[in-house]
Amino acid sequence: MSALPKAAPVADLSLEEICAFLYAEARCLDDKDWEGWLAHYAPSATFHMPAWDDDDLPTENPQTEISLIYYGSKQGLEDRVFRIKTDRSSATSLPEPRTSHNISNVEIVERGAGFVKLRFNWVSDSFRYKTSDMYFGTSFYTLDTSGARPLIAAKKVILSGDYTLGSYIDDAMTQDEAKAGYVLTCQIKATSDCVISVPASSAVCKVKIAAHAGQMLETRALSPSSIGFSVKVAEPAELSYLPGQYVNVSVPDTTQARSYSFSSMPRDGVVEFLVRNIPGGLMSTYLSQLARAGDAMTLTGPVGSFYLRDVTRPTLFLAGGTGLAPFLAMLELLTKKGCAHPIHMIYGVTNDADLVEVDKLEAAAAALPGFTFATVVADPNSAHERKGYVTHHLRDSALNGGDVDIYLCGPPPMVDAVRAYLDQKGVKPASFHFEKFSPSENK
């Protein structure tokens, strides 16, 4: 436990001693001396970190207004320390950040019998997961100076302009993206005013998530590893989606659902899907062995921000395995609308058997003068003319010096590999959209 500055009569508690007290508290945080840190607080100490209100002023009343943190007594701080020490704190999960708490501009604002009020500025640097963050603000303390040692009776911390990223999985955002300042708007907690720009097509406004009743129409065994299926929805007018989006499909006779990208645009209420046949998989088993025309299925969606934006420049489609599905829907729409810009697709699979629906790509190439595609098989024993991974066949010319919109979809390792490849090449595309076909957690 850190030693606290010696007790001193109120009138004599000098600025230097106050600074020593503040530095000691800060050092406890940097040293992760949680008990020493708690020892700086009076039992009735309040701890308040206000939020910012609509007028860009910090909220004042923690009982009636939103706060970032509020504890009414030291008990709240003790609970927080308990959660940190037992790894139950979402804010401070392991590894604990390395920090440097720095204090400046210490001013005594008011002195009285048994108390002193002060304010100071602070900057805290924090390092975790190879990322450094800087937080800054102003703190207002009331020190209880009536006892043997000064103790914090009230602490208000104004965090001047920052956000917390919230909790999320690495699949959603990589550490490099977080470092580059990217955030997940579904998780981020803004703690000051911010401007949000949404580069979304207005068409997005026309789609809304709902549960759509439907019936299995047919399944198509495309290869030993891939199955196509189509569903007829009961209320076609109710279901609209953007090409590239996905939907959660109920697995008949179970309580579960699986996510699937639409592989077609709706045609008279019929929608199609392209699915990898995973031996023993719940939906895979249903589709490959149990499905009967007329089986009731519920489609909940559409979901997702992976959808085709207006094509305004050269565009690259990168598909891995059944990650082809959303591109089939995109190409169907483009074929109907026409497209003035070149679109190149690289469709990579693991084995020859995974290469399906190539006839649809050929049809799109015939209908769309700017559309070209190349198929790639990873299996070294394949007789296919192009072997390897998608990245092996990604020509610099297709990247167009970064003036390119890139759409990427497939299993998580493939998506990660392509993203790492583009990062390593230093390619900064005009826009970049990806979808990972992550396995369901609901098994």
Ligand X SMILES: Cc1cc2nc3c(=O)[nH]c(=O)nc-3n(C[C@H](O)[C@H](O)[C@H](O)COP(=O)(O)OP(=O)(O)OC[C@H]3O[C@@H](n4cnc5c(N)ncnc54)[C@H](O)[C@@H]3O)c2cc1C
Q: What residues line the site for ligand X (CB under 6 A)?
A: 246, 258-261, 273-276, 278, 280-284, 322, 325, 411, 435, 437-440, 443
Nearer CB in complex with ligand X: 258/360? 258
> Taking the complex as a whole, how short is the minimal distance between the CB of residue 211 and ligand X, in angstroms?
17
Buried b (16+ CB within 10 A) or exposed e, 376-390: bbbeeebebeeeebb
Report the C-alpha gap between 334 and 345 in whole angstroms.
14
Nearer CB in complex with ligand X: 19/173? 173
> Taking the complex as a whole, how short is the minimal distance between the CB of residue 274 and ligand X, in angstroms?
6
- Per the CB < 8 A criterion, the answer to whether 224 and 237 are in contact is no
**Strands 115-128 and 98-112, sheet pairing:** antiparallel
> Taking the complex as a whole, how short is the minimal distance between the CB of residue 434 and ligand X, in angstroms?
11
Residue 439's alpha-carbon distances to 171, 222, 258, 275, in angstroms, are 12, 21, 9, 12
Neighbours of 130 (CB within 10 A): 9
| Exposed / middle / buried, residue 73 (Cβ in 10 Å: 0-12, 13-18, 19+) | middle
Maximum C-alpha span of the chain: 90
Nearer CB in complex with ligand X: 164/285? 285
Report the C-alpha gap between 267 and 360 in whole angstroms.
16
> Taking the complex as a whole, how short is the minimal distance between the CB of residue 195 and ligand X, in angstroms?
29
Report the C-alpha gap between 335 and 286 in whole angstroms.
32
Q: Which residue is nearest to ligand X (CB)?
A: 281
Report the C-alpha gap between 82 and 362 in whole angstroms.
62
> Taking the complex as a whole, how short is the minimal distance between the CB of residue 315 and ligand X, in angstroms?
20
Nearer CB in complex with ligand X: 6/292? 292
Nearer CB in complex with ligand X: 72/413? 413
| Listed residue (258, 299, 209, 245) closest to 409, CA to CA | 245
Nearer CB in complex with ligand X: 93/298? 298
- Per the CB < 8 A criterion, the answer to whether 407 and 382 are in contact is no
> Taking the complex as a whole, how short is the minimal distance between the CB of residue 443 and ligand X, in angstroms?
5
What count of Cα atoms within 13 Å lies in the side-chain half-sphere of residue 25? Answer: 18
Nearer CB in complex with ligand X: 14/185? 185
> Taking the complex as a whole, how short is the minimal distance between the CB of residue 298 and ligand X, in angstroms?
15
Residue 164: phi and psi, rounded to 5, are -110, 140
Nearer CB in complex with ligand X: 141/437? 437
Nearer CB in complex with ligand X: 411/429? 411
**Residues near 122 by beta carbon (within 8 Å), at least 6 away in sequence:** 26, 101, 102, 103, 104, 136, 137, 138, 139
> Taking the complex as a whole, how short is the minimal distance between the CB of residue 421 and ligand X, in angstroms?
20
> Taking the complex as a whole, how short is the minimal distance between the CB of residue 271 and ligand X, in angstroms?
12
